[in-house]
Amino acid sequence: MRIMFDTNILISMLLFPSERFNRILDFITRKHKLVLSSFVIDELFAVVERKFPLKKQAIDSFLSDLAYELVYTPHNISGNLFEIRDKNDYPVLYTAIIENIDIFITGDKDFLDVDIEMPEIMTPKDFAEKFLHEHLRKNRRMYKCISRQKGAANNL
């Protein structure tokens, strides 16, 4: 799957790290494709410059070390794909749509009210519950199965 983060998710991951964000990022970068848009990266730097200017270097380091696909957000955007309360959010979701993103992860409630088929819009909590818990269950079942097979082999 191709999964895109909203700016608020990147800010939270970088400035207010948590175990949940670490697990989400690790899961996505190992099992799927993380996609970031030029608009989100520009917005990330603008917010950090304005609110956390001492963290600019951390953003550069984080983005340099992170494996992701960068997609371009056009400057001339068709304004009729969907309705959203905050027009400043339009380019973010527009890019996710034209780039065929499967899941868009955000903490912004305005996105959650948008009625579109793709991408699926989720909060970090929803994503973790749907994908991380399922992934952990599968790994536990696989581990139990391997353990049983090893036990049976030892009994031969």
Identify the CA nearest to 73 among candidates 46, 59, 94, 43.
94
Residue 22 has pLDDT above 90, yes or no: yes
Mean pLDDT confidence for 7-34: 94
Instruction: Please give the structure tokens belonging to residue 20.
Output: 């949940």
Angle among Cα 34, 40, 42 to the nearest 5 degrees reads 130
Task: Give residue 66's pLDDT.
Answer: 95
Residue 147 has pLDDT above 60, yes or no: no
Mean pLDDT confidence for 112-116: 92
Domains of the chain: 2-124 (3.40.50.1010)
Residue type, 90: Y
The side-by-side arrangement of strands in the sheet containing 103-105 is 69-71, 33-37, 2-5, 103-105, 120-122
Identify the CA nearest to 122 among candidates 105, 110, 101, 97.
105
Tens of pLDDT, residue by residue over 33-59, are 999 999 999 999 999 999 999 999 999
Residue 129 has pLDDT above 60, yes or no: yes
Q: What percent of the chain has pLDDT over 90?
A: 76
Between these two residues, 136 and 123, which has the higher pLDDT value? 123
